[in-house]
Every structure is written in C-alpha cells, then in structure tokens.
C-alpha cells in the first residue's frame, strides 16, 4: 500500500504560510478558497446542503424537531445511527486508509460512506436531543444549547476569530504545534465558553450581535437590541 503523504517541502511551505503574517496567510488561503468556491461549492455543497435543507423543512413540518413524535420514533433514529450510520462511516475510513489516502478516491467515491452515514448519525442526534426535550429536566439542561443555536452566526464567527488568533502567525502562532488531544481540549473549552456566554448575552439582548446586524441589513430596519427587564428570560 502506497501512502500519499505530502512531501517535506510541502509541509514546510504550509507551516511557514500559516505561521507568517496576515498577508502570507491570505496569499495561501485565497487559492484554497477559490478552489472551494469555484469547484467544491457548486458541484458538491449546493446539492448536499440544499437537499438537507429540504429534508429538514419536511422534518420540521411533521413535528420531528418539536419533540412531538413518539419515543419509539426517536429511539429508532438513535438505533439507526448506532447500527448503520456509525459502522458505515467507519467502513469508509477503513477503505480510505486502504487506498493510502489517495485524493481521487478519498474525496469522491470513498467519501460516499461518510456522505450517507453522516445523515443517519445526524438523525440519531436529533432523536437523542428530542428525547431529552420530552423531559422537564432535559429541557432545562438544553437551555444553554438553545441559546447557542439562537446565536449561531455570532458563535460561528467567534470560532473563526478565536481559532485564527490562536493558530495563525499574526496571533499566537500555534499552527502545527498542537497535537490532536490538545486540539480536542481547545474545542471543549470553546464550547464551554459559548454555552456559558450565550445565555447571559440573550438574557440582556434579544439577538446576537451578528444576527442583529444581519436582520437589520436584510429588512433595512434595525430592531431594538436590548431586552427590557420584564422581557428577560430566566437563565
């Protein structure tokens, strides 16, 4: 089996780019972004995301996301994720390893295992969360997660700001120095931070800052941002 690892020079070039100045990072990133937006988005993401949006709209209409379906339905979703989705994804990973991570295979036919398996796993998470919402204690437990969802755009942009500051050269320059265990730790810290901050923000304000700006630009009228004391939800 021939493993298609990048050459030493290629690795060194990428490390130097991401540990460099903002302009060096930009010069490296714009080429990747151009490939994604000119090739990956129209040929892959539009169809996948668009199709999943239609599936999500149908699930919302039938009450799947409102905890109105039966316990058996949500349990079946979790079972399908565990018995079919996860094994399918692991099988795909196995075959990609067997191919030596060859790009032509890994990004096309080899990705089909994850493509379909991830949908089943997503429905499994839906089942687990909706089962929690059927319980009063579960709804209380999910309030911070709901607040993060209400500020999805703000939190998404926050991910970018935090991680580029940590890893890129114009920030702390950790790119290439943090192992996988350390990366998982950083992810958990960011999650914990957003789960704590989002409910506090929404206790004082009606929208996240990015959501407020987006809504104002969309409707050409900026709504009131600060929440009145009598309207503030309990934390």
Task: Give the residue-averaged pLDDT of 104-128.
Answer: 91
pLDDT at 159 over 90: yes
Q: Is 136 helix (H, G, I), strand (E, B) or coil?
A: helix
Task: Give the residue-averaged pLDDT of 153-172.
Answer: 94
Task: Give the residue-averaged pLDDT of 2-7.
Answer: 64
Average pLDDT along the chain = 90
Other C-beta atoms within 10 Å of 144: how many? 18
The pLDDT assigned to 10 comes to: 83
Q: How confident is the model over 91-112, as pLDDT tens digits?
A: 999 999 898 888 788 878 888 9
The pLDDT assigned to 4 comes to: 59
Q: How confident is the model over 33-61, as pLDDT tens digits?
A: 888 888 878 877 888 889 999 999 999 99
Stated pTM of the model: 0.77
- Please name the residues in contact with 183: beta carbons below 8 A apart, sequence gap of 6 or more: none
For residues 18 and 155, give the distance between their C-alpha atoms in angstroms, rounded to a whole number: 23
| Residues 202 and 143: beta-carbon distance below 8 Å | no
- Given CA atoms 66, 70, 73, 77 in this order, what sign does their dihedral have? positive
Other C-beta atoms within 10 Å of 30: how many? 10
The pLDDT assigned to 234 comes to: 58
| Per-domain residue ranges of the chain | 135-235
Q: CA-CA distances (angstroms) from residue 68 to 62, 64, 136?
A: 8, 6, 14
Task: Give the residue-averaged pLDDT of 163-176.
Answer: 93
Q: How confident is the model over 190-221, as pLDDT tens digits?
A: 999 999 999 999 999 999 999 999 999 999 99
- HEC string of 15-76 equals HHHHCCCHHHHHHHHHHHHHHHHHHHHHHHHHHHHHHHHHHHHHHHHCCHHHCCCCHHHHHH
Q: Is 208 helix (H, G, I), strand (E, B) or coil?
A: coil
The pLDDT assigned to 229 comes to: 60
The pLDDT assigned to 230 comes to: 52
């Amino acid at each position: 089996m021939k493993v298609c690892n990048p050459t030493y020079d290629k690795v060194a070039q990428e490390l130097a780019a991401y540990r460099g100045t903002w302009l060096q990072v930009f010069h490296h990133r714009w080429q990747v972004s151009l490939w994604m937006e000119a090739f990956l988005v129209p040929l892959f993401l539009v169809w996948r995301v668009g199709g999943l949006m239609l599936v999500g709209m149908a699930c919302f209409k039938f009450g799947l996301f409102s905890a109105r379906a039966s316990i058996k339905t949500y349990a079946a979703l979790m079972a399908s994720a565990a018995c079919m989705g996860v094994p399918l994804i692991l099988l795909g990973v196995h075959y990609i390893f067997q191919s030596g991570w060859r790009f032509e295979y890994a990004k096309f036919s080899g990705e089909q295992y994850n493509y379909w398996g991830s949908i089943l796993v997503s429905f499994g998470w839906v089942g687990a969360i909706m089962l929690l919402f059927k319980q009063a204690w579960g709804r209380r437990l999910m309030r911070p997660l709901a607040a993060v969802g209400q500020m999805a755009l703000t939190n998404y942009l926050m991910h970018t700001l935090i991680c580029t500051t940590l890893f890129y050269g114009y920030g702390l320059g950790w790119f290439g120095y943090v192992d996988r265990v350390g990366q998982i730790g950083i992810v958990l810290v960011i999650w914990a931070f957003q789960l704590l901050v989002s409910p506090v923000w929404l206790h004082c304000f009606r929208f996240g800052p990015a959501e407020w700006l987006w809504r104002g630009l969309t409707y050409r009228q900026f709504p009131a941002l600060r929440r009145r004391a009598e309207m503030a939800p309990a934390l």
